Structure 1
Amino acid sequence: MIDSDTFNMSSISIILGDKFFKKDPQSSDLGRRIVSEGLVMLDSLGFEEFTFKKLAECIASTEASIYRYFKNKHKFLLYLSSYYWAWLEYVIAFETHHISNPSEKLDRIIDIVCGSYDLPKVLDVPGISLSKLRHVIDSESDKTYLNRQVDEINKKGLFRGYKELCGTISSVIEEINPKYEYPKALVSTFMEAAHQQSFFAQHLPSLTELSVGKDLKLEVQIAGFIKHAVKSSLK
């Protein structure tokens, strides 16, 4: 959920429901440090090596104090992922509300999702490294749902932000081609591809033609690939 005046960046704040945490980390300096430093450490170590014990040592606090905010590191990853999807939905609304042509709007959305569009500094979030957050989404976000607890997590509404974002983008696809049968499947596929192709290009390059060594930035290559795939589907 975004709490703000209409596109008034001076008052924007991202508010997540209490199902993501035991105590709202935005309510205290310690909580905000847990999020900001935890994000940096998670990006550096990866989900498997990241622990609350290591984070506690980093911020000169105690493991118990971190557990007062988050039940476990999976909930922490869910919090960061949902924070990103909420921020992304706001950015899409901010950057496309003036675009009336649905095809142009979809192109802008794909650029934003892929990170190939230069966003104004006013869309930065204090205390959060958006580049590191995006990298965590690329490499770790699938672990929020690729587990045996996915149905239980879904029933609690912890994927709501991601589903609402996909629904928003699906409505643009329906404007472009009302007869297209699979708008939700198309959106969820390209949303995942945006992050997977980045990961593949950096770590499993034989799985993609996209490359970090090309003249074009990787994000621009990914956006171009997704636009091609989406437009071919909508013809």
Structure 2
Amino acid sequence: MERLLQSVKISINQKIYVKDPESSDLGKRIIKESIIMIHEMGFEGFTFKKLGSKIGSNESSIYRYFENKHKLLLYLTSWYWGWLEYQLVFSTNSISDPSEKLKKAIEIITRATKEDSSYSHINEVLLNKIVINEYSKSYLTKEVDMENKEGYFVIYKRLVSRISEMINGVNSSYPYPSSLSSTVVEGALHQHFLKEHFASMTDCTDKISPTEYLTHLIFNALNRTTNG
């Protein structure tokens, strides 16, 4: 799969950026260092001025790529969901059994992230931590409906739709496939967050993973409908 991903370019909605950061060395440095800095200082503490100082470039040069840091966060999180979607598609494409396909999809969505050498300017481990801690800030805004209409969240929504289709493949009579699918995606982020920061609020530990919990939750719901 790594060889396949090396030839894959994650396509991001062009309205999110002013200039494609993948098109130049400076753009790739902006992406690389912004991931490190947002992880270290949080989205609130991160500014283009600090980023410019870090990469040795004028703050104005960053604005040639992104209108503001909100758009940068949208770019980073969209890239993450696109990267995850490609893994899901490649890993499940050859699985014919619907239950096994769904189990593999849940594993990919919920497992701890490992760095992917296919993209040298992107640390997927740190990006995953940003998504866990900061993703909600990309859509909990007054502009969310407008941005949704502009297609800013299309990759995220497409990923949820793919899992929803797999849920239907396991049990077509289950009445809430989209809700269950979004529960998997959002629940994975939430359980990893709780495990890291509020351990008393989750049963996920070093021995019990979010994958194990969410697989149990999903298949219990699907089997109950089948047997009920």
State yes or no: 1:230 paired with 2:208: no
Q: Gaps (5+ residues) in structure 2?
A: 224-228
- Name the aligned partner's letter for residue 177 of structure 2: P
- Of the three residues 122, 133, 138, the one matched with 1:144 is 138
Q: 1:116 to 1:103 in 2, by over 3 A?
A: farther
Gaps of 5+ in 1: 1-6
Residue 91 of structure 1: CA displacement?
Answer: 0.5
Separation in 1 of the partners of 2:154 and 2:82?
10
Output one character per residue of 1:15-70: Cα deviation in whole Å (capped at 9) or x when no partner.
21211101111111101100011111111111111111110010001111111110
SS of 2:187's equivalent in the other structure is helix
Deviations 1:122-159 (A, max 9, x none): 7x422111101111111111111112111111111101
- In 2, Cα distance between equivalents of 1:181 and 1:196: 24
Q: Alpha-carbon deviation of 1:111?
A: 1.0
Code of the aligned partner of 1:159: F
Match of 1:221 in 2: 209
1:158 aligns with 2:152: yes
How far apart are 1:114 and its partner, in Å?
1.4
What is the one-letter code of the residue matched to 2:201? L
Equivalent-residue separation in structure 2 for 1:133 and 1:224 (angstroms): 23
Report the Cα distance in structure 1 between the residues aligned to 2:202 and 2:181, rounded to whole angstroms.
20
SS in 1 for 2:19: coil
Question: Does 2:42 correspond to 1:46?
Answer: yes
Distance 1:59 1:92 in 2: 33
Corresponding position: 1:130 with 2:124: yes
* Structure 2 residue 177 is matched with structure 1 residue 177: no
Q: Against the structure 1 CA distance between its residues 140 and 180, is the aligned structure 2 distance closer, same or farther, given a 3 Å change threshold?
A: same
Distance verdict in 2 for CA 1:78–1:118, change over 3 Å: closer
Given the alignment of the two structures, is residue 13 of structure 1 paired with residue 3 of structure 2, yes or no? Answer: no
- Contact 1:111 1:117 (C-alpha < 8 Å) held by counterparts: no
Give the C-alpha shift of residue 10 in structure 1: 4.0
Q: Corresponding residue for 1:194?
A: 188
Considering only aligned residues, what root-mean-square deviation do their CA atoms show, in Å?
1.7
CA contact (8 A) 1:86 1:161 kept: yes
- How far apart, CA to CA, are the structure 1 residues paired with 2:131 and 2:100? 26
Query: Contact (CA 8 Å) 1:102, 1:176: kept in 2 or not?
Result: yes
Alpha-carbon separation, structure 2, partners of 1:132 and 1:22: 24
Cα distance in 2 between the residues matched to 1:98 and 1:42: 37
2:226 equivalent in structure 1: none
Identity %: 42
Q: Quickly say closer, same or farther: Cα 1:69–1:193, change in 2 above 3 A.
A: same
